Chain A
């Protein structure tokens, strides 16, 4: 019976698929033709935007250079992907089995989630050598996505199957092995799907800065000095293709596996994971203190275990000392505060702009699906193209002021926020939508009265995603284009061999991200609590 239902669904699905892909193909061709025209006649920024045919021609000339770079990038990204995801899945299982561990690791998880990769890359290059910085950055880029997916997958189980195991005397571990892991597979695979391109981009970023000869990041660096946008775009597009391919591979695997292990009925609620510590205030305080202390302890252990000399490495105490206890501390604080004063306002503006862009796009994707579909290829492209390859173009188009910073920030923030919001809007219950429809309300009115308020939890989830990326975007712009703020301070400290400041900027940028994140979490709990809504992951 299930087969019959599946069969008819698949048929309708296939036709929908064909229509959607035909539209995508048509839009892709239109974009290519317009791009070719603009590039051919040098209409954008005095010819700084190369035509697709010029990029292809350049790629053909350079084809001998690519294989070794691609292999090196794949190597670093795959090793990081394996290690990062293995840790992420194990950590996710641990968090589900032990709520105390979950609470204790909250600080680490948020820190890993919000660390701006350009701040951590110099630290990794300082402390590790060879391929290690690339692998670690790739692993860090994977961890959070997969860990979250694992936790969600393991908790959203059909309680009845778990009850069966328990009734036969099975413990927590048996439930984990026989029920949770099996039903979590599709969600974990979904996580891996997002983690795969992240790993590629993480590896490339670490290659770019870290010395060594092979890797697309190294190739990009060597090519920058040639003033040849076609080469830069070629490398960027190859990186994009690898990231896209990695995404597709896991999408295919996920489709196969999901087909075999889909639950018969879908559970409707997320079981609460908040029981740890109970109502005991002392236990709660201890857990919070522990979750704050744990990242600091891990940081300390990392520095000590690697045996990095004190002159280069800083422990948490070393950063404190740099800012407060040395003769040079007042000067260091002044520099830091000046940089923060430049970075923070534009980060807030960028965050708001990124969210607004995502919101508008999500709303319009409901009202005008065609427009969104046309926009999607460009949107995907901005997510995987290494920014450094497009910086000359952006600077030529937008200058080196607020507009370029805002543009870069919006481009790194809007996409994950858009996906989350679109998901929220699409998950509004049909029944709720039928009311305004029955009264003949317009699509916009229906949006305003039902869909938007109903997807409020997703707006908060999107904001949480946006916060750390906004800081990352601003720091990238400062580093490459404007020469201000934290991004520039980090880069300049390298030239002064000011190791204390390098660690301080990395630390402060993580702390700022965490602070923003926590603010959103608090606001989210208040607002949703008052409205009687649940948080969305």
Chain B
């Protein structure tokens, strides 16, 4: 008897959870599509917020549901479980899942042509290159340790030569000098450090051999087959949103102060800084969200150094060609 009550509640809750985001949006004849973001609402996703608020998805016949992310949330899990149609992911974990677990994923685009992850240190104790990390204490979120180890090895450094400790997304230990450097988005943390009247220096992993893009746009093979038209429409509307947003990176974040960015605990100045800093990492001569042959080759090459065997057929550039 207990179990039945238990299950019924679960089911009811599942239903409520799934319906809540839909109710918030006006029901329409448009094709439903759900995207899973990689992190909480911050400037990293401004292009999508712009496209939603300006009706670009609706213009393409889409009814988009946007799901925020968080530290325990694995974006790939949402598309495997069918909670979302597409997810923004870190390509190393996605490709590792294809190789190791036989996950049926395709990467159909990339938001960051250059991965914003970098090593951040204080200007008064600066670290400008991987070599200078030897003997230092570096805080890395446990999920990103693999990327850092690859970058270190690519520069002839054994990971054991660096004291790697967990990073809990709070720069206080860096500012107070408890750690020498941290791995974080270079588009974001230097702002916080400046706010605390310190100066930051940083370098991108990308510029030291870890040449992967980031925020890969990932779908399952099934979704690709069933919703190809919608995915192309999504790419088109998203590109338009990003172009509009990056035209002047200081325009859109303030508009979202009381909507998308409300209550995130971050400041709008921070989002403007982030949005401005990410512009050169996102823009591409082939158009925003592009997957160029060059970037695919570089990603495959970088991952092979990590022992992850990426292949060209894990990427599908044909949807972008239709945009």
Contact = CB atoms under 8 A, between A and B. Distances in A.
Interface of A: 45-48, 65, 68-69, 83, 86-87, 90-91, 94, 121-122, 125-126, 128-132, 135-136, 208-214, 218-227, 229, 231-232, 298, 301, 305-306, 308-309, 311-312, 328, 388, 391-392, 395-396, 399-400, 479-483, 488, 491-492, 494-499
Interface in B129-174: 141-146, 164-166, 168-173
B168 A388 contact: yes
B175 A68 contact: no
Interface in B259-285: 262-267, 270
B264 A222 contact: yes
Contacts of B263: 65, 68-69, 213-214, 218-219, 222
B309 interface: no
Interface stretch (B55-63, B67-75, B108-116): B67-75
Contact of B93 (A46, A213, A497): A497
Contacts of A46: 176-177
A225 B266 contact: yes
A104 to B, nearest CB: 12
Contacts of B215: none
Contact of B40 (A129, A135, A221, A388): A221
B175 to A, nearest CB: 6
B168 A492 contact: no
Contacts of A130: 13-14, 16-18, 20
A218 B70 contact: yes
B166 A481 contact: yes
A132 B14 contact: yes
B170 A227 contact: yes
B52 to A, nearest CB: 14
Contacts of B184: 225
Contact of A305 (B1, B7, B16): B7
Contacts of A222: 40, 42, 263-266
Interface in B62-118: 67-74, 76-77, 80-83, 93-94, 96-97, 100-103
Contacts of B97: 497
A517 B97 CA distance: 36
Contacts of B20: 130-131
Contacts of A121: 72
B70 A226 contact: no
B166 A128 contact: no
Contacts of A69: 263
A309 B146 contact: no
B10 interface: yes
Contacts of B196: 227
A301 B3 contact: yes
8 contacts: A46-B176, A125-B73, A213-B264, A224-B168, A225-B171, A227-B193, A227-B196, A391-B168
Q: How large is the interface on B (under 10, 10 to 19, 20 to 34, 35 or more residues)?
A: 35 or more
A83 B166 contact: no
Contacts, number: 209
A396 B18 contact: no
Given A65-B265, A68-B263, A497-B93, A224 B170 contact: yes
Interface of B: 1-3, 5-7, 9-10, 13-14, 16-18, 20, 40-42, 67-74, 76-77, 80-83, 93-94, 96-97, 100-103, 141-146, 164-166, 168-173, 175-178, 184, 188-189, 192-193, 195-196, 262-267, 270
Contact of A497 (B40, B96, B175): B96
Given A208-B71, A225-B189, A94 B2 contact: yes
A494 B74 contact: yes
Return the 6 tightest CB-CB contacts between A and B, nearest first.
Answer: A130-B17, A209-B72, A495-B143, A222-B265, A223-B265, A392-B172
Nearest to B163: A400
A68 B264 CA distance: 11
Nearest to A67: B263
B80 A391 contact: no
A211 B69 contact: yes
Contacts of B264: 213, 218-219, 222
Contact of B67 (A211, A225, A226, A483): A211
A126 B77 contact: yes
A213 B40 contact: yes
A306 B146 contact: no
B48 to A, nearest CB: 14
A131 B101 contact: no
Contacts of B101: 311, 497, 499
A232 B173 CA distance: 14
B192 A492 contact: no
A212 B69 CA distance: 7
Contacts of A94: 2
B172 A229 contact: yes
A521 to B, nearest CB: 24
Instruction: Indicate the member of A87, A214, A312, A495 with the most B CB atoms within 10 Å.
Output: A495
B166 A480 contact: yes
A499 B103 CA distance: 12
Contacts of A496: 93, 96, 100, 146
Nearest to A219: B265
A309 B81 contact: yes
